[in-house]
Amino acid sequence: MKDTEPQKPATYRAAIAVLVLIALALIVHEIFGQNGYLALRRQRQEFEALQNQIKQLQEENQQLEKLVKALKSDPKAIEKLARDDMRLARPGEIIYTLPNKDAKAKPPAARKNSLPAQ
C-alpha cells in the first residue's frame, strides 16, 4: 500500500499541470482566436468606421438631392452651375481665367515649360 501513496501526489500534480495547460490554451484562444477578443475589437472598429462612412454618404446624398431639385426647378441654380462649373457665358460677356495657385508653387523651370509657345 505504501507504493501507491507516493504515486498519488505525482499523479495529482500531473493532472493539475494538464488542467492548467488546458486553461491557458483556452484563455489564449479566447483572446487571440478567430472569434476572440482582439478580433471582436477589430470588428467593432470597422463597424464604427463604416457607420461614419454611411453617415457621410447620406449627407452627401441629401446635398445632391437638393442640387437635383434646384436644377430641375430653379433657373438661377442652372445658370450658376453653367457659369461656375462649365465656364459658360452669355452672349457678349468675356470670361477671364486666372492661373491656379498650384502654378505659383512650381519651380521656374517647370513654369517655362508649361507656358504656350509664342
Average pLDDT, the chain: 82
Q: What is the number of H-type helices and E-type strands within the chain?
A: 5, 0
- Say what angle helices 4-32 and 37-73 make with each other, to 10 degrees: 10
Q: What is the pLDDT of residues 23-40, one digit of tens each?
A: 999 998 888 888 888 888
- Residue 5: predicted pLDDT: 57
pLDDT grade, residue 66 (50/70/90)? very high
Cβ proximity of 70 and 76 under 8 Å: no
Q: How many Å separate Cα 109 from the centre of its chain?
A: 38
The helix or strand, by DSSP H or E, that contains position 42, with its residue range, turns out to be: helix 37-73
Whole-structure pTM value: 0.49
For residue 31, what pLDDT is reported?
86
